[in-house]
């Protein structure tokens, strides 16, 4: 089943409003999830609902579409355990398990869905949180900078 971005956002809004019929709403999203949170917040604002907060964590700028990720990105994530496949006994490569078969196709489908999306400015200022270093390479020393725009 393939959904358009607008169909996906509409399904998110139905689910959100089923639980909380009225705003103000708070949204957050990590990476590509931040783009989906941004678009969902925007749609609610366009229909007169109140959005109090929008926090984007390491999200790409989607003002020119979202570019596909190279295969080496997925390979790196698998090799380092970023995809959540570290076993119960720690960060040793001996303890890693394969990511679920659906995970990378899901990532690719989400990026394909957003490839033609061109974000427009919001009526509220989102908060963008960007890490300054990869935590997987600098565990314990990673810092984050926050900026409001």
Question: Which letter does DSSP use for residue 63 in this model?
Answer: B
- Taken in order 68, 71, 72, 77, the sign of the CA dihedral is positive
Report whether 128 contacts 59 (CB < 8 A).
yes
Whether the pLDDT of residue 44 is over 80: the answer is yes
20 Cβ contact partners less than 8 Å away, ≥ 6 residues apart:
none
What's the domain range around 80?
68-114
And the tokens for 13? Answer: 């809004």
Q: Which residue has the higher pLDDT, 125 or 88?
A: 125
146 — pLDDT class (breaks 50, 70, 90): very low
The model's pLDDT over 46-70, given as tens digits with 9 standing for 90+, comes to: 999 999 988 888 888 877 777 887 8
- The CATH number for 133's domain is 3.40.50.1820
Is the pTM for the entire model greater than 0.85?
Answer: no
59's enclosing H/E stretch is none
Q: In total, how many domains does the chain have?
A: 2
Report whether 59 contacts 32 (CB < 8 A).
yes
């Amino acid at each position: 089943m393939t959904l358009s971005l607008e169909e996906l956002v509409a399904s998110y809004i139905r689910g959100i409003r089923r639980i909380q019929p009225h705003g103000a709403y708070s949204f957050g999203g990590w990476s590509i999830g931040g783009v989906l949170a941004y678009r969902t917040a925007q749609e609610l604002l366009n229909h007169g609902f109140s959005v109090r907060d929008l926090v984007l964590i390491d999200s790409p700028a989607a003002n020119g579409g979202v570019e596909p990720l190279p295969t080496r990105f997925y390979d790196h994530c698998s090799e380092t355990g970023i995809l959540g496949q570290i076993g119960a006994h720690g960060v040793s490569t001996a303890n890693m398990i394969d990511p679920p078969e659906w995970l990378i196709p899901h990532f690719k489908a989400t990026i394909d869905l957003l490839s033609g999306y061109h974000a427009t400015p919001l009526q509220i200022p989102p908060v963008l949180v960007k890490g300054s270093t990869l935590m997987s390479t600098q565990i314990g020393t990673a810092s984050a900078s926050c900026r409001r725009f």
